[in-house]
A and B are shown apart, each in its own frame.
Chain A
Amino acid sequence: MLTKPLHFLLVEDDEDHAQLVMLALADNRVSNTVKHVTDGAQALAYLKGETPFEADPRPDVVLLDLKLPKVDGQEVLRQIKEDEALRVIPVVILTSSDAETDRARAYFSHANSFLTKPLDFGKFHQMIHDLQCYWTVWNKPPRGRGVIRRSA
């Protein structure tokens, strides 16, 4: 089965957590790529191809933490899903929170998935692994990803 590598956008303010996620993603045979930004404002700027991200590729999947400085994850999600050009990008919420309100809000805002970071690193690792498999192998997005990059 031939799979095309995916480009992930990791939005995570905690450096250590970002490190852990990226390590987990790297531990795979698939040569996916990851872009890490540390707050919501940067994430939106990246997605919209704004300065300084004009040259960066558009992500196939967004891994979004909820607790973010400046613009928090829920707001980022809302803006993505309200933007016709961006709403097709799957957004996976990856958060420490398992608060019901966070889940409800995220789903209400059309999050594509909601994952809570397990304290246990084995499970954490497994989850990231499965996540990558799922979006890389099993998930079939429309051709050409159904999206054309916004003409800037």
Chain B
Amino acid sequence: MTYPMHGDSMDVNPDALSERRRRGDLSYLGFGLCLAVLIAAMGFALVTLNDSHRDVEWVQHTEEVKINIHELMLAVLEAQTAKRGYIITDDGLYLSRYRQAIDELAAQVDLLRSRTIDNPAQQRRIDNLERILQRKIGEMAQAITARERDGFDAAVASVQAARPAAAMDQARAVMREMLDEEERLLRLRSDEAAQSRWATLTTMVAGVLIGVLTAGFSVWRIRREFEYRRTAHRAVRESQERLSQAQDAAQFGVFDWDIAGDAVYSDRRYAALFDIDPGRPMLTRGDWLDHVHPEDRERAEHEMNQTLEHGQPYSSEFRIVRPDGSVRWVASQATVSRDENDSPVRAIGVVADITDRKQAEIALKTSRDFTRMWLNECTDGVWDWNLETDEKYMSPGFKRLFGYDDDELPNHADAWREILHPDDHETVLQAFREHTCTGAAYNIPVRYRHKDGSLVWVIRRGVAIRDQSGRFTRMIGTHTDISRLKRVEAELQRARDGLEATVRARTADLRRTNEELEQFAYAASHDLKTPVVTFLGFLNMLQGQLDAGDADGVHDSVQRMQRAAVRMQRLIDDLLEISRIGRVVSESERVTIADLVLEFIEVLGPALAEQGVRIEIEDSAPVVYGDPIRLRQVVHNLLTNAIKYGCGETGGVIHVGGRAEDDATCFYVRDEGPGIDVQYQDKIFGLFQRLDSSTDGTGVGLAIVRRAIECQGGRVWVESQPGRGATFWVAMPDENTMTLAA
């Protein structure tokens, strides 16, 4: 049974395998050669033996032929002897003996003929011999016949006529030839037999020698092979032990699935892995599937089917659920063997517990995914700087911060320096020095030049890393875009500045209001009290004057009391007015100053003419944006002020005009009166401040003007030199610059 093995679990390599196979073949070859040699030797021996046997037969045959020839000769002699006896004796016994010898002779000839049937030369000699013998026999028969018929003398005459000795000699010569021939043949065959025996002996010895050598060699080979196999077997056993141990260590189970019979055989490790009773392993494919995690079941089955149907190597990873409910990851690999119809019949495979690896894999993948996503998607940039080569990895997010695609900016510090703001190179260097020397945190705001030219603010954080020798060789860190933060910060700063300005303005307002309040309180305790003191004082005096009948005194006192009361009333009115100026607000609109002046002239026209006052409206008199009611009050007060203090007994001319400034529109009221000393120019706008006690002013008019204008974000001032008249200026902010002032 061969399992697909991982790596080098068995120390067999293809070279060693073929080497071993070659050696084995050699052993078999040696063995076969040895056998072949022995067989050849035996065959040769058999052949030689056979030859030898034939040789003996031939010798024997020759002997027999020789005996045959001798027998034939004897028969001839016997027949001749018997004929002579008969002739001499006329005894019948000799005649029968003669006839026996003739028969014998014929039999011997036949025998001889048959024995030398393979030798044509001998046959020819036999033919010749037979002829000679026939003639001899004929002679003898004549002699015998002569005897019987004519008696002895006739017979002797017949014999003498026939010269029998010649025939006999001829016969003897032929037979001699035949014998010589047989002798020659005998000698020839004996030689052959001797040669054959020698050859047999030599072959046998050589064959045995070769056989012994080959057998020895084979034994040696076999011993070596045996030795090798024993080593190999030990190696296999050790390997199997190691495999077994490895299987134990790796929880490496083996299964053998008889597909046709749908029976799964498994080893104890397999059982341990699936936590099933080793005595009752899973029996069917269905049982196996039942153990597979429900979420993986479909996939695992599909993969198994792919292997079965399409012959792909089976290799799958899936989860199994053990009887106790615990889930394990396993890797399964199998090879499928098929029958002649290519139908799968058997699957053998291994199953290993890879839960730890899988968990690590999942953790790694999660980590990798996280890293990849972080590098690609995170709005923070990541950098990794090799300080030795000056290579500097910059993540896609890093480059995106500055409008570059990943491939647009090389991962080198030079490219980075290109986009770093020139003014921040020193900052970065300094931070690096501090970080590496003192261990101070590397955390600095720096600027970069965006691809579109705009400025990008970034928080650059990092940490330098030492190698084993303690040198800083690498630095990694992040970039966080703080442009928005910076913008917000700037806005915040602006807002704070604005707020501070507002607070300052408001504080100033408050201070001024407080001052005004103090002045108001002061006024309440002084200016309002003053007419009361007057009133009560003269009222008291009036009593005495009436008693004394002092009519002039009474008149004077009453007049003073009247003036005090009127003044009191006016003060109260003005105070109410100034308090209202700050409180009542109308909607701002475009107000034509000239219209307000004309309105004033219309109301006070006759009085003005009486006083000799002329009001001239210049073309420059502007249109301003503001609260129309307050502006009317301002124009009224300024004109009144100009008439009261700027025009003498004989009257005067008052000019109203204006000019435009950057974000404000100004108008003025100019008189040609005595003017105001520089040291008093600020003071005159204060509450109850009067420069001249001879007039009946309350010291509130200009305070109302200032308050009314400053409430709307404008300002008032006076330009004057003593003796050259005074110009009161009012500046009102333009419409679009009203935001903060409102």
Question: A33 to chain B: which residues have CB within 8 Å?
Answer: none
Q: Are B691 and A20 in contact (CB under 8 A)?
A: no
Q: Are B534 and A67 in contact (CB under 8 A)?
A: no
Q: B524-571: which residues lie under 8 A (CB-CB) from chain A?
A: 525-527, 529-530, 532-534, 536-541, 560, 563-564
The stretch of A2-10, A79-87, A96-104, A136-144 in contact with B is: A96-104
Q: Which one of A23, A117, A118 lies within 8 Å of B541 (CB-CB)?
A: A23
**Within 8 Å of chain A (Cβ to Cβ): is B650?**
no
Specify which of B521, B689, B692, B693 lies most central, judged by the most chain A CB atoms within 10 Å of its CB: B693
Q: Are B563 and A67 in contact (CB under 8 A)?
A: no
Question: B564 to chain A: which residues have CB within 8 Å?
Answer: 16
A145: min CB distance to chain B, Å: 30
**Within 8 Å of chain B (Cβ to Cβ): is A122?**
yes
**Within 8 Å of chain B (Cβ to Cβ): is A114?**
no
What bracket does the count of chain A residues touching chain B fall in?
20 to 34
**Within 8 Å of chain B (Cβ to Cβ): is A69?**
yes
User: Total A-B pairs in contact (CB under 8 Å)?
Assistant: 74
Q: Which one of B525, B536, B540, B563 lies within 8 Å of A97 (CB-CB)?
A: B525
Q: Which one of B525, B539, B693 lies within 8 Å of A121 (CB-CB)?
A: B539
A13-B693, A121-B540 known; A97+B533 contact, CB < 8 A: no
**Within 8 Å of chain B (Cβ to Cβ): is A14?**
yes
How long is the Cα–Cα vector from A95 to B526 in the complex, in angstroms?
8
How long is the Cα–Cα vector from A20 to B414 in the complex, in angstroms?
96
Q: Are A69 and B691 in contact (CB under 8 A)?
A: yes
**Within 8 Å of chain B (Cβ to Cβ): is A19?**
yes
Please give me the residue from chain A that is nearest to B561 by CB atom. Answer: A16
A67-B526, A99-B521, A99-B525 known; A39+B693 contact, CB < 8 A: yes
How long is the Cα–Cα vector from A139 to B130 in the complex, in angstroms?
228
Q: Are A14 and B537 in contact (CB under 8 A)?
A: no
How long is the Cα–Cα vector from A67 to B523 in the complex, in angstroms?
10
A38-B693, A99-B521 known; A16+B537 contact, CB < 8 A: yes
Specify which of A20, A118, A125 lies most central, judged by the most chain B CB atoms within 10 Å of its CB: A20
Please give me the residue from chain B that is nearest to A117 by CB atom. Answer: B533
Q: Count B-side interface residues using an 8 Å CB cutoff.
A: 28
Please give me the residue from chain A that is nearest to B559 by CB atom. Answer: A16
A16-B560, A96-B529 known; A69+B534 contact, CB < 8 A: no
A22: min CB distance to chain B, Å: 12
Q: Are B538 and A16 in contact (CB under 8 A)?
A: yes
Task: Enumerate chain A interface residues (CB-CB to B < 8 A).
Answer: 13-17, 19-20, 23, 38-39, 66-70, 95-99, 101-102, 117-122, 124-125
Task: Enumerate chain B interface residues (CB-CB to A < 8 A).
Answer: 518, 521-522, 525-527, 529-530, 532-534, 536-541, 560, 563-564, 680, 688-694
A20-B541, A96-B530 given; name 4 further pairs at CB < 8 Å.
A16-B560, A69-B691, A119-B533, A119-B536
Can you name 29 A-B pairs with beta carbons within 8 Å?
A13-B690, A16-B534, A16-B537, A16-B538, A16-B560, A20-B537, A38-B693, A39-B693, A67-B526, A67-B688, A68-B693, A69-B689, A69-B690, A69-B691, A69-B693, A70-B691, A95-B526, A96-B527, A96-B530, A97-B525, A98-B525, A99-B521, A99-B525, A101-B518, A102-B522, A117-B529, A118-B533, A119-B532, A119-B533
